[in-house]
Amino acid sequence: MNNFKKILVPLDGSKYSKKALQRACEMVNAFDSQIILIYVVEKSVPVNFLDRKEYLQLLRKYGKKTLNDANEILSKNGITGKSLIREGNIVNEIDKVIKEEKCNLVVVGNKGLGTVARFLLGSTSNKLAQSSPCSLMIVK
């Protein structure tokens, strides 16, 4: 019996999220699961160096590139996935997608953002461990 029919992989472009994607690919092949990739444009970060609109445009562009790169990795592994870009609070948006898509597992990197952003936002993997309605695998 496959308990991991749908696997969600939140991506931020970090080496840790790439490791999480690789692990998710292994699981998709082992369990014949579906994979969903998500990039969340974090809207709550205080912005001083650019105006907000320009900052969000940069994040959206980076998110598309991150998902395109991830889809290339899926393709090399013979996997077709679903890609989503959401905007808002990272953990809240991931939790919404878990419920909407009825995901059974979230595979997330141990670390992602730089130290300053992690200090401001807290660890996404830690917050997901507290809030996620499904199983969570944290990849180191």
According to the model, what pLDDT value does residue 106 have? Answer: 95
Q: Going by DSSP bridges, is the β-strand pair 82-88/105-109 parallel, antiparallel, or unpaired?
A: unpaired
What does the pLDDT look like over 114-139, one tens digit per residue? 544 444 445 788 788 888 889 999 88
pLDDT band, very low/low/confident/very high, at 22 (cuts 50, 70, 90)? very high
Answer whether 0.85 is exceeded by the pTM: yes
According to the model, what pLDDT value does residue 75 have? Answer: 97
Q: Which residues does 47 contact at the CB level (< 8 Å), separation at least 6?
A: 55
According to the model, what pLDDT value does residue 45 have? Answer: 63
Which phi-psi region, left, alpha or beta, contains residue 47 (left: φ > 0; alpha: ψ -120 to 50)? beta
What does the pLDDT look like over 81-91, one tens digit per residue? 999 999 998 89
Which phi-psi region, left, alpha or beta, contains residue 78 (left: φ > 0; alpha: ψ -120 to 50)? left
Q: Are 113 and 66 in contact (CB under 8 A)?
A: no
What does the pLDDT look like over 32-62, one tens digit per residue? 999 999 999 988 766 666 677 888 898 899 9
What does the pLDDT look like over 91-106, one tens digit per residue? 999 999 999 999 999 9
